[in-house]
Structure 1
Amino acid sequence: MFQPFLQHLEKELFSRFDLSSRPIDPELEFQISQRGKNPAMIESWCYQCPQFRKIRYTYINAGETAQIFNSVLYPSYEYDLPLLGVDLLAFGKKKILVVLDFQPLFRDEDYLEKYIEPIAPIRAKYNELAQDLEMKFYDANQYFSPYLLFAKTDAETVVNRLFPAYQEYLQLYWQLLEQAEPKTDSASIERITKAQKDYDQYSAERDPASGLFRSYFGSEWAEEFVHNFLFEDSVPVAVK
């Protein structure tokens, strides 16, 4: 269901940036599980380039049982851009949850005006994808913008509304990146570095997908995947 989203992201990335592969542990890069009703395959990709220190995306294909596409783009530490976050989940054709956002690293007014307010006109075109749903695992005021797309939807809307919204969000993100001036002072770079590391820690501790990973691939693998790939700057709580 979400393969076109992955393919569009890849096409955009490879046409715009000089990407090089970022190593992934082979055990984490690809796995097949026979535990569920249908076999589940998980595959991940990771790249870097001068503008992005880490570009990661993952696809889970369990046939009609589950289709999941997740991606986060981490700008290089010289750029204070928000992270680009995509999380699209389908459990059958009727249980579909979508999340798409520019995830702000900071909350000061100038930052939000520069990087978040430009999303408003696009979001306004897709209000049906901006539902007032409860965030069970996250604080909506931390690492989320007021203009995130967050909705329970259906397969037709994914094709006809979500995909064009996704294309427009990506296009705006590239524009903001082009306009951004790299930071050169150590204080700014340290601030950005800390904010990205804090994001990884926060996300690793709250990511609800951990339970899904455990159910398909076991607890040990899930722990490795969360802390050594998805959010590699996080530290497992038990050993902090």
Structure 2
Amino acid sequence: MFQPFLRHLEQELFSRFELKSRPIDPELEFQMSKRGKNPAMIESWCYQSPELRKIRYTYINAGKMAQIFNSVLYPSYGYDMPLLGIDFLAFGQKKILVVLDFQPLFRDEGYMEKYIEPVKAIRDRYDELAQDLPMRFYDAAQYFSPYLLFAKTDADTVVNSLLPAFKEYLDLYCTMLKNLKPTDDPERIAKITQAHKDYDQYSADRDPAAGLFNSYFGHEWSEQFLHEFLFEESTPSESAKAEIETDSASESESEQTANV
């Protein structure tokens, strides 16, 4: 379902930036699962450029049971740009959750005006993808913008609305980044670096997809994937892990992930 998004992301990034591959542990780059009734495949890619220190994206293909596309673009530390966060999950043709956002590193008025307000014009064209849904695992006021696209939707909307919205968000993001001049202020770079680390730790502690990874690929692989690839600046947190596992245990695999 989300392969057109992956292909467009690659096309745009390779045409706009001088990308180089970042190495991935082969065990994390590709895995096949035959656990349970529904086999699944997970494949990941990772690149970097002078403007982007890390571009990662992952696709999970479990046939009709699940299709998941996840990506985060991390600007280099000289840029205080938001991260671009992408998380599209489909469990069949009708149970689909989509998340797309410029994820702010800072929330002062000047920062939000510069980097987040330009998103408003795009977001306003896609009201059907900006639903007022509750967030079970995250604080909406932290690392999410007011112009977040967050919706439970269907396959037709994915094609007719989500794909064009995705193209517009990505185009704006790449254009903004290409037009920026990186800072050489050591103090600002240190703050940006810490903000990236804080984002990774926050995300790793709360990511509900850990339960899905566990169910398909096992706990040990899931922990390694979470902390060594998805959020490599994070360290395992026992308390957060226990909280996620408690919440996950009360729900089915798909319901738990779709209630991000």
TM-score, length basis structure 1: 0.98
CA contact 1:90–1:96 (8 Å) conserved in 2: yes
Matched, 1:81 2:81: yes
Quote the Cα distance in structure 1 between the aligned partners of 2:199 and 2:164. Answer: 28
Q: In the alignment, what sits opposite 1:19?
A: 19
Structure 1 position 130, deviation (Å): 0.1
Q: Give the SS at the match of 2:23.
A: coil
- C-alpha distance after superposition, 1:8-37 (max 9, x if no partner): 000001111111110100000000001143
Quote the Cα distance in structure 1 between the aligned partners of 2:10 and 2:178. Answer: 18
Matched, 1:165 2:165: yes
- C-alpha distance after superposition, 1:100-159 (max 9, x if no partner): 000000000000000000000100000110000000000000000000100000000000
- C-alpha distance after superposition, 1:31-72 (max 9, x if no partner): 000114331000000001100000000000000000000000
CA contact 1:87–1:100 (8 Å) conserved in 2: yes
Quote the Cα distance in structure 1 between the aligned partners of 2:164 and 2:8. Answer: 11
Q: In the alignment, what sits opposite 1:133?
A: 133
Q: Which 4+ residue blocks in structure 1 deviate beyond 3 angstroms?
A: none
Note the residue ranges of structure 2 that are not aligned, 5 or more in a row. 240-260
Q: In the alignment, what sits opposite 2:256?
A: none
Structure 1 position 237, deviation (Å): 1.2
Query: How many pairs does the alignment contain?
Result: 240
Quote the Cα distance in structure 2 between the aligned partners of 1:186 and 1:97. Answer: 40
Q: Which moved more, 1:193-202 or 1:34-43?
A: 34-43
Q: In the alignment, what sits opposite 2:230?
A: 230
User: What does 1:25-64 correspond to in 2, within 5 Å?
Assistant: 25-64=25-64
Letter in 2 for 1:45: W
Q: In the alignment, what sits opposite 2:198?
A: 198
Quote the Cα distance in structure 2 between the aligned partners of 1:41 and 1:73. Answer: 23
Q: In the alignment, what sits opposite 2:177?
A: 177
Letter in 1 for 2:156: E
Q: In the alignment, what sits opposite 2:121?
A: 121
Letter in 1 for 2:51: Q
Quote the Cα distance in structure 2 between the aligned partners of 1:93 and 1:139. Answer: 28
Letter in 1 for 2:111: Y
Q: Give the SS at the match of 1:110.
A: helix
Q: Which moved more, 1:148-157 or 1:177-186?
A: 177-186
CA contact 1:94–1:154 (8 Å) conserved in 2: yes
Q: Give the SS at the match of 1:55.
A: strand
Quote the Cα distance in structure 2 between the aligned partners of 1:20 and 1:31. Answer: 23
Q: Which moved more, 1:152-161 or 1:31-40?
A: 31-40
Quote the Cα distance in structure 2 between the aligned partners of 1:185 and 1:165. Answer: 35
Percent identity between the aligned chains?
Answer: 74
Structure 1 position 174, deviation (Å): 1.3
Quote the Cα distance in structure 1 between the aligned partners of 2:33 and 2:60. Answer: 11
When residues 12 and 188 of structure 1 are mapped into structure 2, their CA distance, relative to the original with a 3 A threshold, is same
Structure 1 position 181, deviation (Å): 1.8
Quote the Cα distance in structure 2 between the aligned partners of 1:52 and 1:64. Answer: 34
Quote the Cα distance in structure 1 between the aligned partners of 2:232 and 2:115. Answer: 25
Quote the Cα distance in structure 2 between the aligned partners of 1:172 and 1:68. Answer: 23
Q: In the alignment, what sits opposite 2:155?
A: 155
Quote the Cα distance in structure 1 between the aligned partners of 2:137 and 2:159. Answer: 27
Q: Give the SS at the match of 2:35.
A: coil
- C-alpha distance after superposition, 1:85-104 (max 9, x if no partner): 00000011110000000000
CA contact 1:37–1:65 (8 Å) conserved in 2: no
TM-score, length basis structure 2: 0.91
